[in-house]
Structure 1
Amino acid sequence: MTTNIGSACWAAPEVLKDEATSEYSVKIDVYSFGVICWQLYTCAVPYADIPGSVLAVAEAVLSGVRPPIPRNCPRLFTKIMKRCWHDNPLRRPSFEDIVQLLEIELTEVRRRQLARAHGRGNDSVIAPPTLDSSNFDDTGRAQGMEGSYK
């Protein structure tokens, strides 16, 4: 678990509030993971468009500003990033849930690739639909899965 060090670009809002607390949880690292996912997808520096100092970035994050997600980003990744960035740490997914969702998606991608490699043009007939944002309920919990968003 992270302590109150590092850059505002990756820090969860509760860390930036500058309130001494021992109530941080692994959810601050889940928030940072969401920013890293955004970086991996966009190959960009988060909040690079915000002029000024680290304080300007911190103020933006505290006011709810998050990195812009490109329109062509897969729905599942968009949903994971948004859930990781939730203002309420209790509404952020656990790392276990994130890994499980990504493993399900990877299995489906591999299934579609295998179908294409074997000359099946319409792989939607043989592959079940992929897990995407519609598989999350309003609390951010992946439907039909073990575990919970803590």
Structure 2
Amino acid sequence: MSAITLRPMTAEELAARLPALIDDYARDIHRAGRVTVEAARATAERQIAEGMPDGVDTADTLLLVAEDGGRPVGWIWLSLPSAANGRDGAWIYEVLIDAGERGKGYGRAIMRGAEEELVRRGVTRMALNVFAGNTAAIQLYESLGYRITSQQMAKRIR
């Protein structure tokens, strides 16, 4: 892996990448034991549509494609802090590495690149959610200095 570059995602790229995003998020929701597969998919579709109602043109949103030598290898979805959303820092909605590119350090590189971009924009805090069981992501985020700020717990009783 050489150094990656981050660039704005095009509407065409978002349309092509949206199915994988929905699949990934629905799978996480379902694995968390919250709902059926069908309900998880409906929730994922609804929340993603609400989170980026105008696609790549959604206000206070960065959709960045990571490239290695001009070749796309993954992407990140960030929400910038604003009066409209009430956030005091950027929120990382998703980091997705293309299937054939996983395990090569691109996740770390994308996170560092996003952090550099946010610092340039004057952002002083980044936050995210990670589902329990996603140990690779948890280890990555902890190695980058992220710490647990809240934690949800659940128990199946039937």
Normalising by structure 2, we get a TM-score of 0.25
TM-score, normalised with respect to structure 1? 0.26
Could you say which structure has the greater relative contact order, defined with CA pairs below 8 angstroms and 6 or more residues apart? 1
Larger radius of gyration: 1
More strand by share: 2
